[in-house]
């Protein structure tokens, strides 16, 4: 039998200031590509985006005219996604003879021992070092720890160290000053980031000769045309979920369509009736650009995985997976969000509460993609996002609850509660909502509703928590919400 015909295209990635060609498999991640070029500082530790040993810097847009050095997990990112982009690795920050200020701080503070995790820490630390908003004497809010130099320690939350310990790393972070005028990477922020390249990388890279193909369409229209012709294609947004499937489970898709940089899916707008969030906006971008305008999401963002993951994960991608333990659905359900689903036939709007139909199943049809999330305005004044997990940060939730409640003259007039982790799908706590609306805002009302809340969903026993524990957390969370907002609602 003759060998299958191989068709190749190429990508060109700027790595540490030099153009490097990439012609390998569309399934090759950025980490393997970089290490294959001899840049071996970045390591594979977990292959799931939880350890940060693979962290690299990528120039991403920051406004119309600027760019921002963004730390990403190279192990989750397809190398083809970097076509036309600028990447800096730990080697590109500085060398033995000319250490970068971050590298020098880590060495001086004793922040490196075995050194396996150090390059990843250095890249994440450099992203925070160059963060334009970093200033002095920032307040300690929402559990965040900021040093006197404005360094947000949670920028390192996705990086793990097993031998040095974190005190000297923290010391290094808090010792950093500001970039000098001669710092080329600091100066680079004043210029636009590279535009997304229209990419089509394909080759016969499997034993049976099936094509593996990665495409980044030039527009939403082109993406929908491809999706209409090939409805079974794998849509790729942030890739933080799909990358795990590729690395750990060996998943391969015959066709990948990258939609994360489509400009039409990256708009944020407000009208009198809606806040509209583009589905391809990353969680970090939303956190930065919303700046607290939607308080419930402001509470969610710091608890969503790590900064490294939030820098890549998109709000549409988190909803698109249909996962029952995603963190955005409970908050968005509480906000009574709607999804805009787009196809060549046009757009349709689906309330999020009707979107999930089963375990990782949704009403999204073949040929459709999530283009935006719409949140009705005005917002309920009393909100809270509660995540119950084994770790406070950077963990998968056992239970997640989003609250949006309105109280007028001591009477609950509106109650929307979103739940995650207690059923095969995210869901609204409808029975609890009905128990609350029209009742007095009192502890007696809350306790009666808490007993109803404890029975919402179909909690199960698994390695994260028992069904009994989940039910107990549901009930107690409502009492906690009441205690948090008791004075506000009077």
Give the pLDDT score at 136.
Answer: 53
Residue 95 tokens, joined:
């060398």
Distance CA 385, CA 447 (A): 19
What pTM was estimated for this model as a whole? 0.94
Angle at 44 between CA 210 and CA 160, to 5 degrees: 140
Give residue 154's pLDDT.
93
pLDDT tens-digit profile, the chain (490 residues): 333 333 447 899 999 999 999 988 899 999 999 999 999 999 999 999 999 999 999 999 998 899 999 999 999 999 999 999 999 999 999 988 899 999 999 999 999 999 999 999 999 999 999 999 997 545 545 556 789 999 999 999 999 998 988 999 999 999 999 999 999 999 999 999 999 999 999 865 554 445 589 999 999 999 999 999 999 999 999 999 999 999 999 999 999 999 999 999 999 999 999 999 999 999 999 999 999 999 999 999 999 999 999 999 999 999 999 999 999 999 999 999 999 999 999 999 999 999 999 999 999 999 999 999 999 999 999 999 999 998 888 888 999 999 999 999 999 999 999 999 999 999 999 999 999 999 999 999 999 999 999 999 998 888 889 999 999 999 999 999 999 998 777 6
**Residue indicated by tokens 């394909």:** 202
Q: Would strands 361-362 and 356-358 be described as parallel, antiparallel, or unpaired? A: antiparallel
For helices 118-129 and 101-108, the axis angle rounded to 10 degrees is 130
What confidence score (pLDDT) does residue 138 get? 58
Cα(195)–Cα(209) distance, integer angstroms: 33
Would you state the pLDDT for residue 6? 39
Res 23: pLDDT: 85
Quick: pLDDT tens for 71-83. Answer: 999 999 999 999 9
Domains belonging to the chain, first-starting first, are 1-195 (3.10.20.30), 264-376 (3.30.465.10), 382-485 (3.30.390.50)
Distance (Å, whole) CA 401 – CA 399? 7
pLDDT at 110: 96
Residue 264's pLDDT is 98
Q: Which phi and psi angles does 473 have, rounded to 5°?
A: -65, -35
Overall residue count recorded for the chain in this entry? 490
Among 78, 81, 25, 74, smallest CA distance to 47 is for 74
Report the pLDDT value the prediction gives residue 102, as an integer from 0 to 100: 98
- What residue has token string 């409808």? 430
State residue 324 phi and psi, 5-degree precision: -75, -10
Which residues partner with 215 through β-bridges?
200, 257
Give the largest CA-CA distance in the chain: 80
CA dihedral 56, 61, 66, 71 (to 10 degrees): -20
CA atoms of 441 and 413, how far apart (whole Å): 10
Note the pLDDT tens digit of each residue in 147-187: 999 999 999 999 999 898 899 999 999 999 999 999 999 99
* CB contact burial 384-420 (16+ within 10 A = b; e otherwise): bbbbbbeeebbbbbbbbbbbbbbbeeeebebbbbbbb
39 CB-near residues (< 8 Å, 6+ apart): 15, 16, 89, 91
Residue 210 has what pLDDT? 53
């Amino acid at each position: 039998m003759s060998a299958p015909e191989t068709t190749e295209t190429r990508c060109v990635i700027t790595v540490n200031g030099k153009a490097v060609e990439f012609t390998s498999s569309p399934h090759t991640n950025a980490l393997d590509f970089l290490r294959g070029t001899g840049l071996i500082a970045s390591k594979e530790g977990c292959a799931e985006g939880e350890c940060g040993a693979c962290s690299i810097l990528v120039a991403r847009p920051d406004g119309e005219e600027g760019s921002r050095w963004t730390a990403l997990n190279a192990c989750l990112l397809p190398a083809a996604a970097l076509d036309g982009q600028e990447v800096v690795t730990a080697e590109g920050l500085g060398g033995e003879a000319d250490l970068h200020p971050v590298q020098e701080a880590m060495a001086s503070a004793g922040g490196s021992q075995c050194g396996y995790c150090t390059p990843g820490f250095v890249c994440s630390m450099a992203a925070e070092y160059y963060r334009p908003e970093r200033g002095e004497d920032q307040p300690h809010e929402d559990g965040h720890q900021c040093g006197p130099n404005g360094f947000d320690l949670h920028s390192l939350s996705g990086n793990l160290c097993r031998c040095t310990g974190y005190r000297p790393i923290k010391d290094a972070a808090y010792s950093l000053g500001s970039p000098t005028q001669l710092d080329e990477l600091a100066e680079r922020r004043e210029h636009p980031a590279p535009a997304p390249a229209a990419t089509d990388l394909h080759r016969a890279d499997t034993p049976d000769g099936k094509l593996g193909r990665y495409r980044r369409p030039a527009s939403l229209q082109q993406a929908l045309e491809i999706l209409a012709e090939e409805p079974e294609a794998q849509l790729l947004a942030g890739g933080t979920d799909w990358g795990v499937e590729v690395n750990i489970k060996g998943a391969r898709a015959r066709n990948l369509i990258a939609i994360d940089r489509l400009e039409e899916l990256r708009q944020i707008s407000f009208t009198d009736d809606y806040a509209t969030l583009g589905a391809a906006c990353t969680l970090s971008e939303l956190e930065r650009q919303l700046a607290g305008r939607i308080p419930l999401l402001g509470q969610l963002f710091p608890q969503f995985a790590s900064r490294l993951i939030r820098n890549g994960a998109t709000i549409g991608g988190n909803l698109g997976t249909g996962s029952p333990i995603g963190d955005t659905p409970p908050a968005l359900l509480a906000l009574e969000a709607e999804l805009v689903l787009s196809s060549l036939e046009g757009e349709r709007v689906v309330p999020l509460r009707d979107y999930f139909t089963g375990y990782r199943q949704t009403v999204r049809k073949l040929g459709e993609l999530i283009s935006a999330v719409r949140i009705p305005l005005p917002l309920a004044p009393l909100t809270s996002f509660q995540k119950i997990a084994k770790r406070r940060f950077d963990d998968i939730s056992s239970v997640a609850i989003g609250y949006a409640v309105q109280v007028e003259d001591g009477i609950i007039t509106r109650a929307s509660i979103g739940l995650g982790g207690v059923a095969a799908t995210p869901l609204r706590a409808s029975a609890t909502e009905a128990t609350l609306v029209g009742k007095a805002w009192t502890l007696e009302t809350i306790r009666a509703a808490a007993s109803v809340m404890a029975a919402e969903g179909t909690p199960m026993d698994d390695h994260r928590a028992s069904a009994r524990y989940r039910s107990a957390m549901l009930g107690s969370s409502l009492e906690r919400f009441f205690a948090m907002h008791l004075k506000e609602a009077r």
